[in-house]
Amino acid sequence: MTSLTRREFGTLLAAAPLAAASRMSERPGPQPGTPAKEWARVKARPFPLRQVRLLSGTCYTLQDRNRAYLHTLESDRLLHTFRLTAGLPSTARQLGGWERPDIELRGHFLGHYLSACGLMYSSTGDELLKSKARAIVAELGKCQRANGGGWLAAFPPAFMQRLTERLPVWAPFYTLHKIMAGLLDVHEHCGDAPALEIALGMAAWIRRWAGAIGDDAMARILDVEYGGMNEVLYDLYAVTGDRAHAELAHRFDQARLFDALADGRDELQGLHSNTTLAKVVGAARRYELFGEERDRRLVEFFWRQVALHRSYCTGGTSNAQRWRTGPGILARELGSTTQECCCTYNMLKLTRHVFGWNPEAVYADHHERAFLNGIIGTMNPADGMTTFYVPLESGYWKLFGLPFDSFWCCTGTGVESFAKLGDSLFFHDESSLYVNLFVPARLQWPEKGLVLRMETRFPDEEAIHLEFQCEKPVTLRLRVRVPYWATRGIAVKVNGEKQEAAAPPTSYWTLERTWKTGDRVDVSLPMGLHVHPMPDDPALQAFMYGPLVLAGALGNEGLTYEMMYADPVNARRGEGMRGQPIPAPELVAPSADPAGWIRPVGDASIDRRDVEIVAGSPGDWTRSVDSGLAFHVTQQSRPLSLVPLSRIFGQRYAVYWRVKQA
């Protein structure tokens, strides 16, 4: 059976009480072979990555580290288990970690790898990575043909049988989603037609398989992590206009989860966070394609619950991969496995969608918080390796993966995150340009005939400089985000002239004018120290400087090199911490305003020699000191230094402190 019949689809809809489904059949379909129309009203869109180039700075450096890592991974090694599964010869040395031939999730990383190559090509124009991705796709095509034309994975279809028989198996649909998403990314970013054909073959296989599964059985199968199967199939519908893909996607919309969210019920306690996040990203894509308000409502409710009630000061969410408490209960949720990086990756994807529907600064504020504290800083700039978690229990350290022996889920989303660092910096509509994140970059907007250059050392400095180059004068509303932390007001100059800048925090400073080449906007966003208390335990506090979460440098006592990198032998549990945390001291706050007792290290009143510092990365430390981003906690029983969490490597740290008022 190649597709669901109309009657079968009708039965499916009756079983799944999703009002949106009716809208799906109401909407006139596109011409076969043409992209589907998006029925939702999207008010602002991010620019395609190829129109944004990072300029020299932290993001550029990390992008480059990631690019180097992508180059070092050998195609034959990545393809090894795909070839073996297809019965094709392979003599490549097997990869380790979650890519080992005896690990059931094997093959997931190749999907991420293809996505990362596609994204990196758009971000940098790296032709070698484009060719490499296209060559891998060609090899995957051979594997698919050897498998009979549809099935493509690094494990046999027998894994799917285990799903239907409710036998233990590690998330086969999760892996299929990564591969399909990788193929679609190579199609989109590298213009590779075979990649789309292979994805279509996989979708056809899945449609045949799902056609034999009843709705009750499917509902049980959806209890096993399935990544963003709904998202990638909606994306396939968007590209091809073939309604069958949307119908298949809908079978992966989990009614139980979506019904609760649409009714405004937070039943997230106990759920696996990243599993759930990926499903809701699928709902967001569905809303854009079919415009059903119910989908928007459930996504926005979910976003608010996670961003505003289930996230730490870092903008990250989850503990031991789950939401283990009700909303707003976080004080006892600090551990060595807080905030899985995949969750931050998926939450930023979701934020990008939600901002487009309603371009308000609250969404971009969250993006900045999670980006600066939960993405940047999860890569070790020394070697390009990334973390699985960001531990938030005091006294732990960052644990990094190994280049060829980890391949965690977060290694996969990591290579994607650091291949799209130029994403979501700028958004636009017909007549507005949004500057959401402050990263040195050059934006090309050919439809308007303009290039915008953003130069800044933010957050090492408070100044952001925007300069226009226009083919001819262009009338445009410039909207610069005023962050939540900019409570001391902002200052703006246009071509050197001071402007009225009475924009409150979490809003946009807006100026409509006709811009011409050489026009320059200088924005200053004064940063200050502020406290981020736990919602359910106000005496448990983190300290922030502007957008940056500060971490107490607790030294590297007892830390060995082996403890800071993954266990290469235990593939399945290699991400576990080997070693115990040390307690952080209780702080005594002489005054409520932290600026009174947490002083910049550069402060003339403090002798730098008196500050005990054990720096993991001396370069970063020096940079933090020089730019005023390093602090000394004064009037405590022992010397304590704070630096941005994103810059602490190779030592133990504390983010949340028990603070006693003096």
Judged by CB, which is closer to Zn ion: 416, or 519? 416
- Kindly tell me the burial class for residue 619, based on how many C-beta atoms sit within 10 Å of its own C-beta (0-12, 13-18, 19 or more): exposed
Judged by CB, which is closer to Zn ion: 170, or 515? 170
Residue 446: asked if its preceding bond is cis (omega within 30°), the reply is no
What's the rounded Cα separation, in Å, for the pair 159 and 110?
Answer: 18
Provide the 10 A C-beta neighbour count for residue 408.
26
Judged by CB, which is closer to Zn ion: 109, or 485? 109
Q: Is 277 in the site for Zn ion (CB under 5 A)?
A: no
Judged by CB, which is closer to Zn ion: 406, or 624? 406
Q: How far is the CB of 228 from Zn ion (least distance, A)?
A: 13
Using alpha carbons only, give the angle 229, 143, 111 rounded to the nearest 5 degrees: 35
Q: Nearest CA to 460 among 479, 440, 441?
A: 440
Calculate Rg over the CA atoms of the chain. Answer: 25
Judged by CB, which is closer to Zn ion: 342, or 433? 342
Which region, judged by CB under 5 A, interacts with Zn ion, from 389-397, 410-418, 449-457, 570-578?
A: 410-418
Judged by CB, which is closer to Zn ion: 351, or 641? 351
Alpha helices in 477-540 (DSSP H): none
Q: Is 410 in the site for Zn ion (CB under 5 A)?
A: yes
Q: First and final CA of the chain: distance in angstroms? A: 73
Judged by CB, which is closer to Zn ion: 412, or 555? 412
What's the rounded Cα separation, in Å, for the pair 154 and 99?
Answer: 9
Which region, judged by CB under 5 A, interacts with Zn ion, from 112-120, 130-138, 340-348, 518-526?
A: 340-348
Judged by CB, which is closer to Zn ion: 345, or 508? 345
Q: How far is the CB of 306 from Zn ion (least distance, A)?
A: 16
Q: Is 375 in the site for Zn ion (CB under 5 A)?
A: no
Alpha helices in 103-241 (DSSP H): 108-124, 127-146, 158-164, 172-190, 193-211, 215-221, 229-240
Judged by CB, which is closer to Zn ion: 230, or 406? 406
Q: Is 278 in the site for Zn ion (CB under 5 A)?
A: no
Q: How far is the CB of 74 from Zn ion (least distance, A)?
A: 23
158 token code pair:
């027998």
Which region, judged by CB under 5 A, interacts with Zn ion, from 322-330, 332-340, 559-567, 583-591?
A: 332-340
According to DSSP, the β-strands at 432-435 and 426-428 are antiparallel
Q: How far is the CB of 387 from Zn ion (least distance, A)?
A: 10
Q: How far is the CB of 433 from Zn ion (least distance, A)?
A: 34
Backbone φ and ψ of 195, nearest 5°: -60, -40
Tell me, letter by letter, the H, E, C secondary structure of 413-432. HHHHHCCCCCCCCEEECCCE
Judged by CB, which is closer to Zn ion: 232, or 409? 409
Q: How far is the CB of 366 from Zn ion (least distance, A)?
A: 19
Which region, judged by CB under 5 A, interacts with Zn ion, from 31-39, 241-249, 337-345, 457-465?
A: 337-345
Which region, judged by CB under 5 A, interacts with Zn ion, from 200-208, 364-372, 408-416, 529-537?
A: 408-416
Q: Is 342 in the site for Zn ion (CB under 5 A)?
A: yes
Which region, judged by CB under 5 A, interacts with Zn ion, from 60-68, 170-178, 238-246, 403-411?
A: 403-411
Which string of x and - marks every residue 225-264 that binds Zn ion (by CB under 5 A)? ----------------------------------------
Q: Is 49 in the site for Zn ion (CB under 5 A)?
A: no
According to DSSP, the β-strands at 537-545 and 656-661 are antiparallel
Asked whether 382 and 68 are in contact (CB, 8 A), the reply is no
Q: Nearest CA to 326 among 268, 372, 398?
A: 268
Which string of x and - marks every residue 99-138 that binds Zn ion (by CB under 5 A)? ----------------------------------------
Judged by CB, which is closer to Zn ion: 233, or 342? 342
Q: Is 409 in the site for Zn ion (CB under 5 A)?
A: yes
Backbone φ and ψ of 296, nearest 5°: -65, -40
What's the rounded Cα separation, in Å, for the pair 614 and 556?
Answer: 7
Which region, judged by CB under 5 A, interacts with Zn ion, from 310-318, 338-346, 565-573, 635-643?
A: 338-346
Number of chain positions touching Zn ion (CB under 5 A): 4
User: Which residues have a Cβ under 8 Å from the Cβ of 290 and sit 6 or more positions away?
Assistant: 20, 23, 24, 27, 39, 40, 246
Which region, judged by CB under 5 A, interacts with Zn ion, from 335-343, 435-443, 517-525, 621-629?
A: 335-343
Q: Rule CB under 5 A: which residues touch Zn ion? A: 340, 342, 409-410
